[in-house]
Amino acid sequence: MPTYIYKATDSKSKLIKGELQASGEIEVTTQLAKLGYMPITISLKNEKAPSSSGIFKSDAKVNSQALVIFTRQFATIIKAAIPIMEGLGALAEQTEDLPLKKALNQLVHDIGGGLSLSQAMAKHPNVFSDLYVNTVVAGESAGVLESVLFRLSNMLEDDAETKNNISAAFRYPIMVVIAMVIAIIVLSVFVIPQFAKIYSDAKVALPLPTQIMIIAGYALKNYWYITFPSIAAGAFGFKKFINTKKGRFWWDGQKFKMLIVGKIYTKITMLRFASMLSVLYQAGLPVLKTMDIVALTIGNVVLSKEIEKIKHDVSDGKGISGAVLNSKFFPRLVGYMISVGEKSGSLGLMLDSLCQFFESEVRSMVRNLTTMIEPIMTAILGVVVMGMCLAIFLPLWSMIQVVKGGG
């Protein structure tokens, strides 16, 4: 039986080091739990501990709702004691998502060839993320795959619902902005040039807003082959920049500072952090490995870097709560609730409570945003239209006054 080296903390957050003989990491975790210890790192003797790359995998190309349905159905199949290969084959036949169907058929082939479920899933990173695969690893090792999959499906479903709510909240503003841009282009290309000719013939002094609109209209109408490619090049350049390491770090940091949506984004990232930590911790993974996986899959490089700092503090013997409380990034509530969970031996329950809290906060903020954004966008549209009308008709009003005065 192999020997494992472990680092753990007791109920007083004191660092404990030692060795245990066990069949796997999950058994070591179980033995440590019986002793009242929380594992930090577990590794085979004479084996180097894995390092975290901090590099994000691309988002899964599979439809998120299809993955949720598959995970829940697969958990039901496991619960019903249906053979895995038979269950996966049935699910592959019924799913309409092509990337998922292809992956499931390959899973059946690979498992039949001798791979474990998690090993087969790891070959499809665009369908099954690091979080997903490592959760399955923990479930397989501990013999609790069914409960782990149900918990994972709940997390994925909540995540998908949050994204859908955010998308729905911004659907109306995006439509308003598109309508506004179309209106500006139509006025600039077809209406303003007509008035510009009239004002030019009448030699009327034009206010600055009118001059700007005439110049913009002239550029759009006569130099569209320069204007539109320039706008497209600017958008492409920005996208290229935020895909660089430096640009990605800058952009991910700006997401937390954006007007109105910054606070919502912060709550969403805290919800993802608590959800992932809860699923992986309750699956029985060591704390540091859990932190590695959360850092890799959280979806924001700024937060990932902060999680790496927390992981470093935990490896130095601090509890998770102490490391989180030392961070200026996380709300104090997160650290306090984790602290209560550590001291009471119910960290999983506290993490679930954190998830419920942030989920409620996100729903409330999105609901308030939806209520506020329609009148705000209507007001902005009205101001823009009124401004354009004034810019067009103010010189005309001046002409009328001159004519009246001359008469």
The domain spans of the chain are: 3-44, 266-362
End-to-end CA distance of the chain: 109
Between 152 and 49, the more confident residue is 152
Alpha-carbon dihedral angle through residues 10, 14, 19, 21, given to the nearest 10 degrees = 10
Classify 104 as helix, strand or coil. helix
Mean pLDDT for the stretch of residues 11-38:
71
CA distance 351 to 12: 19
Instruction: Give percent of the chain above pLDDT 90.
Output: 22
CA neighbours within 13 Å on the CB side: how many for 355? 22
State the pLDDT at residue 101.
94
**Closest to 62 measured CA to CA, from 53, 73, 54, 70:** 70
> Is the pLDDT at 54 greater than 50, yes or no?
no
390: part of which helix (H) or strand (E)? helix 347-406
The DSSP bridge partners found for residue 19 are: 5
State the pLDDT at residue 13.
62
Mean pLDDT for the stretch of residues 21-43:
68
Q: Chain-centre distance of CA 81, in angstroms?
A: 34
- Place 402 in a pLDDT band, splitting at 50, 70 and 90: low
Alpha-carbon dihedral angle through residues 64, 121, 265, 314, given to the nearest 10 degrees = 160
State the pLDDT at residue 98.
92
State the pLDDT at residue 49.
40
Classify 63 as helix, strand or coil. coil
Per-chain mean pLDDT for the chain: 82
> Is the pLDDT at 383 greater than 50, yes or no?
yes
pLDDT digits (tens, 9 = 90+) for 81-135: 899 999 999 999 999 999 999 999 999 999 999 888 988 998 898 899 877 887 8
CA angle 103, 104, 105 (to 5 degrees): 95
CA distance 238 to 36: 51
**Closest to 312 measured CA to CA, from 331, 327, 333, 330:** 327
Are 85 and 92 spatial neighbours (Cβ–Cβ below 8 Å)?
A: no
- Place 403 in a pLDDT band, splitting at 50, 70 and 90: low
CATH of span 266-362:
1.20.81.30
> Is the pLDDT at 236 greater than 90, yes or no?
yes
Structure tokens at 323: 């490391």
